[in-house]
Amino acid sequence: MPYYVQYAKLFKKGDPAVLREGLDLVWEHALDRQPPVKGLQPLAARAMELAPGDGDKWTALNRLAENAAAAVYYCLECRMKGDTKNAVLASRQAYEAVDYLTQNIRHIQFGSRESEEAILRDRLVQDELSRQQRDLELLETGDLNHSALHVMKARAEREGTELLNATVADYLATIA
């Protein structure tokens, strides 16, 4: 989400408020354990519409905005359908964004076995994999009380901001 906000500010495109609304609704439903509401489908469709399109001037930041919009879409789909496949696809968007950041910041040419290994060893990628592993372990315990979900939500927001702060100068230099 922080990269989508940067994309929207820089290019005066998109609508971070719609994506934020989608994420907030998913968290609210999880925290309140309410059944999915019918109004999520239009929001999911709108999330995908907000991804940068083929006609937009392409920059490296577009890819991260696409990952953010897709992640929100998959979260909403997961909430509506209860299909864990969509949860996996949402987490995949987070991984792909960090993989992409790593390639651009570290100037790693994608495609060779050595480059793939360098990307996988990178601190940014390892940190993302650790975050996802930690959250999966929490989910597997089945002990998702209200307090644990609040902690998970706050941590996700904090860690997204920390990632942006840790990479923004290096990354924004790659899109100029």
pLDDT for residue 169: 64
Give the C-alpha separation, 132 to 99, whole Å.
14
Helix, strand, coil proportions of the chain in percent (round to 5)? 80, 0, 20
Residue 49 identity (one-letter amino acid) = E
Domains of the chain: 2-174 (1.20.1590.10)
Report pLDDT for 75: 92
Q: Which residues of 111-129 are buried (b: 16+ CB within 10 A; e: fewer)?
A: eeeeeeebbeebebbeebe
Opening angle at CA 167, ends 106 and 117, nearest 5: 35
User: Phi and psi of 136, rounded to 5°?
Assistant: -65, -40
Query: What mean pLDDT is reported for the chain?
Result: 85
pLDDT digits (tens, 9 = 90+) for 164-175: 777 766 666 655
Q: Which range has highest mean pLDDT (6-10, 14-18, 159-163)? A: 14-18
CA distance 165 to 26: 25
What's the pLDDT at 107? 87
- What tens digit of pLDDT does each residue of 85-129 get? 999 999 999 999 999 989 988 888 878 899 999 999 998 899 999
